[in-house]
Amino acid sequence: MPEPERPQRPGGGPGSRSGGAHRAVNPKTPKSEQVTEAKNVPENENTTGRTPFGSAVAQGAQMTHPGPGVMPGLEPPTAADPVDGAAASGATVSPGAVPAGRTPGAGHPAVPAVLGGAVLQPQLDAFLAAHEDELIAFRRDLHAHPELGYAEHRTTAKIAERLRAAGLDPVILPKGTGLFCDIGPADGTTVALRADIDALPLQDEKQGVPYRSTVQGVAHACGHDVHTTMVLGAGLFLAQQAEAGLLPGRVRLLFQPAEETPGGALDVMAAGGIAGVDRAFALHCDPRIEVGQLGLRTGPITAACDKVYVKVTGPGGHTARPHLTADLVYALAKIVTELPSALSRRVDPRSSLSLVWGRVSAGSVANAIPDDGIAEGTVRCLDDEAWHRAPEMMKALLQSVAAAYDVEASLEYVRGVPPTVNEAASVQMFRDAAAQVMDEEGVVPTPQSLGGEDFGWYLESIPGALARLGVRTPGSPGEYDLHRGDFDVDERCIAVGLRVLSATALTALWEGGRPGDTESIKGAALA
Ligand SMILES: [Zn+2]
Ligand SMILES: [Zn+2]
């Protein structure tokens, strides 16, 4: 498909980057007034006074450097822009203010001025003005040199080198790829920002881009190069905040290997990568969402996928005398047909637990009953509870069907990844962060995917959330999808993701990242 039009790099010069690039707010407005205003604003009402141009214009307000090649309608508003002038009049929700429907919880630290978008945005603008070109070059370098799971040695070295150059002290994981790096004081809350660093065994089919994969049969077709760059960038920004004494806790950057394999998350956990971490956040590229938008969902956002292997054994014999043997092929056929339907009657249909066979095999000739047979399949599931119960349920059902036909049956159940179940409070933190660094139109609902994501392993142990980051150029033709050879992103998503991750980490640190510290949050249902 045609490549989406990209802004040329560099952009229109330093002056064009920050001018009007952040949301118009009146920094002189006292904090208390901002909060009071926000409380009175209905959550879904468009109070910006802007003509509803849709998300493209909303994005334009935060893109840092639409250059000469920018898409029409994405130019940032100028200081004299009457549209933003209306927003600056105070009729909008102030960035950093407590969103409607929420009240600051008793016992929580007051949200400091530094967290307000009015302060954070200019800091992010300044950081991006200095580092966005470098970050895009970093992403392009990773994209051109993709590495498969557990082979990410060059990628690991590049990340570690950049972190060390910033005075940080990354820790390489025991298998030699992947790393984590702590920023800020150890006492208090710790929040993790997770990126995955591996690529896919796919041929890069993109044409006409200078950063096309140079490795035959390997490509960053799932956006992990972008995830890595965004977490690195957020880490460098937060390290600056820490140096200035503005980081109210610790942020752990997690650069996880082998997400696609999968297994990397388990390695990170085995190496103590989430020890002491109170909450974890991650962004994943979503080519169905436009750049400048963030897709949120409370509850399960990805699905589980496990593999099952059934082996059936019994005394074989002549097909003339099945009563003197165990009729193994008949028994196997019963198992293959009974198990999926029995399972579906044992769990809540909303969990969408489904067992589907991909291979069944037994016997070699027409007139001999074999003495063994196998069936292999996958179990997919949208619900965490059903996923936990699935192996035991399946084992019990298998044994009861096998017993009825007098054959022996064994089950090997191989866990893939659990569903990623987003915690409501963590999703609300994403939402609060987005309110500081994005326009209100920037947050969109996103459906649960049937794909797997090993971030779910972390959320089995600690609360957190994964959000979907829009990477599609508005108005670009054609269908995009992950895991395709022509997958690419609108690189402006890197700045958006960096802003969202930085603001989310700060929000989580200030709002109290420890499970149980956070009040139940109203309005945190399905985004
Ligand atoms: Zn993937
Ligand atoms: Zn992925």
- Show me where the domains of the chain are located: 14-301+421-511, 304-417
Q: Does residue 407 register a pLDDT over 90? A: yes
pLDDT reported for residue 178: 98
Q: Does residue 283 register a pLDDT over 70? A: yes
205 CA → ligand 1 middle, Å: 17
370 CA → ligand 1 middle, Å: 41
Q: Does residue 398 register a pLDDT over 60? A: yes
143 CA → ligand 1 middle, Å: 14
483 CA → ligand 1 middle, Å: 6
Q: Which ligand is nearest to the CA of 484?
A: 1
Higher pLDDT, 115 or 312: 312
Percent of the chain with pLDDT over 90: 64
Quick: pLDDT tens for 328-385. 999 999 999 999 999 989 998 888 898 999 999 999 999 999 999 999 999 989 888 9
468 CA → ligand 2 middle, Å: 11
pLDDT reported for residue 87: 32
Q: Which ligand is nearest to the CA of 483?
A: 1
222 CA → ligand 1 middle, Å: 5
115-119, 164-168, 299-303, 315-319, range with greatest mean pLDDT: 164-168
66 CA → ligand 2 middle, Å: 27
Q: 170 CB contacts (<8 Å, ≥6 apart)?
A: 159, 160, 163, 164, 179, 180, 181, 253
Q: Does residue 99 register a pLDDT over 60? A: no
Quick: pLDDT tens for 214-234. 999 999 999 999 999 999 999
Q: Is it true that 14-301+421-511 and 304-417 share their CATH fold? A: no
Name the band, by pLDDT with cuts 50, 70 and 90, for residue 418. Answer: very high
User: Average pLDDT for residues 164-170, to the nearest whole number?
Assistant: 98
203 CA → ligand 2 middle, Å: 16
Q: Are 457 and 266 in contact (CB under 8 A)?
A: yes
Per-chain mean pLDDT for the chain: 79
Higher pLDDT, 349 or 10: 349
454 CA → ligand 2 middle, Å: 9
Nearest of 444, 463, 459, 467 to residue 512 by alpha carbon: 463
482 CA → ligand 2 middle, Å: 8
355 CA → ligand 2 middle, Å: 24
Quick: pLDDT tens for 465-514. 999 999 999 988 777 789 999 999 999 999 999 999 999 999 999 886 44
pLDDT reported for residue 439: 86
Read out DSSP for 450-483?
Answer: SS--THHHHHHHS-EEEEEEEEEPTT--S---TT
User: Average pLDDT for residues 46-59, to the nearest whole number?
Assistant: 29
Nearest of 209, 156, 284, 227 to residue 494 by alpha carbon: 227
Ion ligand 1 contact residues with beta carbon within 5 A: 222
471 CA → ligand 2 middle, Å: 13
CATH class label, 14-301+421-511: alpha beta
Please name the fold of domain 304-417: Alpha-Beta Plaits (3.30.70)
